Amino acid sequence: MEDYIQISKINDFIFCPYSIYLHSVYDDFSVKTYHRTAQTVGRLAHEAVDNRTYTTAKNVLQGLEVCSERLGIMGKIDTFDIKSGLLVERKYKVKTIFDGYKYQLYAQMVCLREMGYEVKSLAIQSLADNKRYKIAIPDEEEMNHFLSLVEKMKKYRPEIPRPVNENKCLQCVYQPLCH
Ligand code: SF4
């Protein structure tokens, strides 16, 4: 399983591939070492799902570990309604639908389908303002973008020089550990 890509890292990789390396280096330390408030709140928002306390509906799977051997990816879903086929990823507060958010859902969808579930629709739930954003099932072109990103993640090596984007670095939680 070591070579499997973690679905939760997709958004970070799009933000900056080097942040994945830094995350892996500091993974064993307390999250307080580098997590800022927004990230910590987001993590807490996921805990209800991870602890399977979000819903008691029998047809809703929550916090299920999923995996695709075909793509070499693994992770956890937030909620999947077996009856309706709706897969939902919860975020603390969504202002913009980043590609990374969509790709996380695509990754979960691929895993669930490979595991035999019928995924019919996708959505992102913004918890702070209780908004739900529908995400279209990816067409072939969109799926190819996603697949090429997974390939890039597999091939990434931290020794490769990283492009520095000052705006991103200023917002980056790993900034004190980088450079
Ligand atoms: S500080 Fe900049 S280069 Fe370093 S991980 Fe963050 S975004 Fe990437």
What CATH number has the domain bearing residue 90?
A: 3.90.320.10
Dihedral sign for Cα 152, 153, 155, 156, please: positive
The domain in which residue 144 lies consists of 5-177
When computed from its CA atoms, the radius of gyration of the chain, rounded to whole angstroms, is 16
The residue whose C-alpha atom lies closest to atom 2 belonging to ligand 1 is 169
pTM exceeds 0.85: no
Give me the number of domains the chain comprises: 1
Q: Across the beta sheet with 131-135, what order do the strands follow?
A: 60-62, 79-81, 86-91, 121-126, 131-135
Q: List all residues whose CB is within 6 A of at least one atom of ligand 1.
A: 16, 18-19, 22, 162, 164, 168-169, 172, 174-175, 178
Q: What's the pLDDT tens digit per position in 53-104?
A: 666 678 999 999 999 999 999 999 999 999 999 999 999 999 999 999 999 9
Report residue 38 as tokens: 């927004």
Report residue 53 as tokens: 């306390």
The pLDDT of residue 1: 44
Q: How far apart are the first and last CA of the chain?
A: 31
The pLDDT of residue 50: 59
Residue 38 has pLDDT above 60, yes or no: no
Q: Please, what is the average pLDDT of the chain?
A: 85
